Structure 1
Amino acid sequence: MKKLGLLILFCLQFSCNSQVEKKINGISFVSSRDKVTQKNIAPILAINANAASVMPFGFIRDVNEPDLIYNSDRQWFGERRDGIKHYVDILHKNKMSIMLKPQIWIRDGKFTGTLEMKTEEHWQKFEKKYSDFILTYAALAEEVNVDIFCIGTELEKFVLHRPDFWSQLITDVKKVYKGKLTYAANWDEYPRVPFWKSIDYVGVDAYFPLSKEQHPTVDQLKAGWQPHKKALKQMSNTLNKPILFTEYGYRSMDFTGEKPWLVDRNQTKVNLEAQSNATKAILEMFWAEDWFAGGYVWKWFIDHDKVGGEDDNRFTPQNKPAELVLKQYYGFK
């Protein structure tokens, strides 16, 4: 009965606040080699999602390498401009809002937050490449009328060391794209981003540590959220801007709330309930708040029937109990 009461309260709060601003109930749509069809979109609609993040990629060899490769014929279809346009077109036909979120991939999956050039010459070369990369997709964002454009993802050292570049980049993006802007800051980076006042959403990749329990309960995870939620609300109030979870999600494994950012190939025991509990906790903690815009769950593959499932300890909620949690909460009106 207690859980039912909390759910009813959540529904009432969500309904009330949804009248203020429609929540972004989003998925992070993973780039693929292939084009998509309505068959690939149907499972997204089935969980009541109303938004998708689509992600073109640029590639770098190492954290000190200034050369950025993007929109190349050697990339997968969904990683380059023509693929992104195709994805956006079919998602728009299904009345979904879109965030276009260009991202960098560093060889071997090295963390983009450590990207840092060693010389001024290399910084300038890299900045030119990055500006061209972002402006290419900002122009596409305007062309296909996406709702939100993200100017970068988890680039802490680049942001902190080169603030003048980012100020100019924002100015240049606004010349070609007239929609709303965000930046996807890592969970421990967002308080130090210097340019929030110049863009529309405080974007956060919400992999906050919440619990060291092997099998965390919803209540334990919500308790772990308390200090982070307080800080996020304070940031929103100070800047008078909504918080947007540009990514959020949990792996379906033991200790999922301890280090939610882990993207390694560890074989930690599958724990579907832990992922489900963590998904419930974040939705119940944030989606009813009027200062919170919504978010995009990480991550959603186009071949729904072939991914996720009971033996998978990765992030995707597909074919797991967490998918039903999303369907339930994303379905609140």
Structure 2
Amino acid sequence: MKTKNFLLLLLIILNFSCKSQTKKINGVSFVASRDSINSKHITPVLKAQSNYVALMPFGFIRNLSTPKIIHNTNRQWFGETKNGLLQYAERFQKEGVKIMVKPHIWVYRGEFTGNIKMTSEESWQVLENSYLSFILTYANAAEKLKADIFCIGTELEQFVINRPDYWQKVIKEIRKVYKGKLTYAANWDEFKRVPFWSELDFIGVDAYFPLTDKKSPSVADFELGWTPHKNEIIKVQKQFNKPVLFTEFGYRSVDFSGKEPWNSNRVEDSVNLQAQVNGLQAIHNQFWKENWFAGGFVWKWFHSHERVGGEKNNRFTPQNKPAEELLRTLYSQ
């Protein structure tokens, strides 16, 4: 009888353990603001059934060949700084929401960070020292707040490709101060070439893959478009035997939303709420049931919920749109 009871208890423990390990990251990318946040700003995230937020402090550089990163200054918005990160995280953690710290770099005029590339060895050295200071500032903060995941960089392909030895050093330095799990947010066309996945805990992908040229694609159109990209993701996942995390994913509520999902131009017409819904449904259908898939962070979520999104908005946010209702349903499963 004792043996049977022991075996039954063991099965219960194993079953609970398996379920807890397969719980997906149902995250939102929470945009930094000028001010501190409170429960008013967190309640909509909880209503969306999100169990994680990505908090995104920023550093700034003047142009693609400028080596010095300006960060954690009084001239930045509060949410973009170390103190802002800590305040945001504390409020979310009180509500049981887990944290990924995901530092970003902003190039003036919005130029693509993947093209940051120095023109001399001297400039590379300055950039490397500056980036290490920037990233360790937030690695230390992530350890202080016991963040569950830390992202070592976001869409920095030329920096990564041209300085592979440096990135091995960065990872080692981060590991000295931060004890949680690490990822890197590779752009959708970069993730196959990242040389250090074996050193991290998640293969991170900003999943803006081109999927369909149709003006108003159906769920089936989106899913068909995922086929070649999903095969590539699986290939990389098997090579490194690491879970895949969509460090960003999302679609605009606009016509042709699956053609160039990364496109954030300021066109104000062509609102297509259903296309956004269909894209989110398709990505969930394709990935959220896969054992090797850890989950993801929808792009993007603003603190002032009542003043953003809406049925005339064609930007990425799902807030106050049918996409928000869908997200709540998907994340509650």
TM-score, structure 1 as length reference:
0.94
Alignment-derived partner of residue 314 in structure 2: 313
2:295 alignment partner, SS class: strand
Give the paired residue count: 318
Alignment-derived partner of residue 279 in structure 2: 278
Alignment-derived partner of residue 326 in structure 1: 327
2:315 alignment partner, SS class: coil
Distance 1:17 1:310, change over 3 A: farther
What is the 5 A alignment of 1:281-292? Answer: 281-292=282-293
Alignment-derived partner of residue 109 in structure 1: 110
Alignment-derived partner of residue 12 in structure 1: none
- Counterpart contact for 1:206–1:248, Cα < 8 Å: yes
Alignment-derived partner of residue 205 in structure 1: 206
Alignment-derived partner of residue 131 in structure 1: 132
Alignment-derived partner of residue 121 in structure 1: 122
Deviations 1:40-62 (A, max 9, x none): 10000001100000000000010
Alignment-derived partner of residue 172 in structure 1: 173
* Per-residue deviation, 1:268: 4.2
Alignment-derived partner of residue 43 in structure 1: 44
Alignment-derived partner of residue 3 in structure 1: none
Deviations 1:284-306 (A, max 9, x none): 11011100000000000000000
2:224 alignment partner, SS class: helix
1:82 alignment partner, SS class: helix
Alignment-derived partner of residue 263 in structure 1: 264
2:168 alignment partner, SS class: helix
Deviations 1:230-273 (A, max 9, x none): 11112111211000000000000000000000112123400000
2:30 matches 1:29: yes
Give the Cα separation in 2 of the matches to 1:58 and 1:17.
39
Give the superposed CA RMSD. 1.3
Deviations 1:26-50 (A, max 9, x none): 0000000011110110000001100
Which of structures 1 and 2 has the larger relative contact order (alpha carbons within 8 angstroms, sep 6+)? 1
Alignment-derived partner of residue 162 in structure 2: 161
1:99 alignment partner, SS class: strand
- Counterpart contact for 1:20–1:290, Cα < 8 Å: no
* Partner amino acid, structure 2, of 1:250: Y
Alignment-derived partner of residue 147 in structure 1: 148
- Counterpart contact for 1:17–1:288, Cα < 8 Å: no
2:128 alignment partner, SS class: helix
* Per-residue deviation, 1:180: 0.3
* Partner amino acid, structure 1, of 2:240: L
* Per-residue deviation, 1:17: 8.0
Give the Cα separation in 2 of the matches to 1:158 and 1:64.
11
* Partner amino acid, structure 2, of 1:144: L
Deviations 1:155-186 (A, max 9, x none): 00000000011000000000000100000000
Distance 1:299 1:18, change over 3 A: farther
2:221 matches 1:216: no
Moved over 3 A (4+): 16-20
Distance 1:19 1:146, change over 3 A: closer
Percentage of identical aligned residues: 53
2:74 matches 1:93: no
* Per-residue deviation, 1:190: 0.2
- Counterpart contact for 1:17–1:290, Cα < 8 Å: no
Q: Which of the two has higher C-alpha Rg?
A: 2
| Larger deviation, residues 224-233 vs 302-311 | 224-233
* Partner amino acid, structure 1, of 2:199: S
Give the Cα separation in 2 of the matches to 1:118 and 1:94.
47
Alignment-derived partner of residue 236 in structure 2: 235
Give the Cα separation in 1 of the matches to 2:21 and 2:120.
48
* Partner amino acid, structure 1, of 2:241: N
Distance 1:241 1:124, change over 3 A: same
2:78 matches 1:77: yes
Alignment-derived partner of residue 54 in structure 1: 55
Give the Cα separation in 2 of the matches to 1:110 and 1:251.
20
| Larger deviation, residues 147-156 vs 266-275 | 266-275
Give the Cα separation in 2 of the matches to 1:17 and 1:267.
46
Give the Cα separation in 2 of the matches to 1:246 and 1:131.
21
* Partner amino acid, structure 2, of 1:320: K
Alignment-derived partner of residue 63 in structure 1: 64
* Per-residue deviation, 1:229: 1.0
1:228 alignment partner, SS class: helix
- Counterpart contact for 1:63–1:112, Cα < 8 Å: yes
Give the Cα separation in 1 of the matches to 2:168 and 2:321.
42
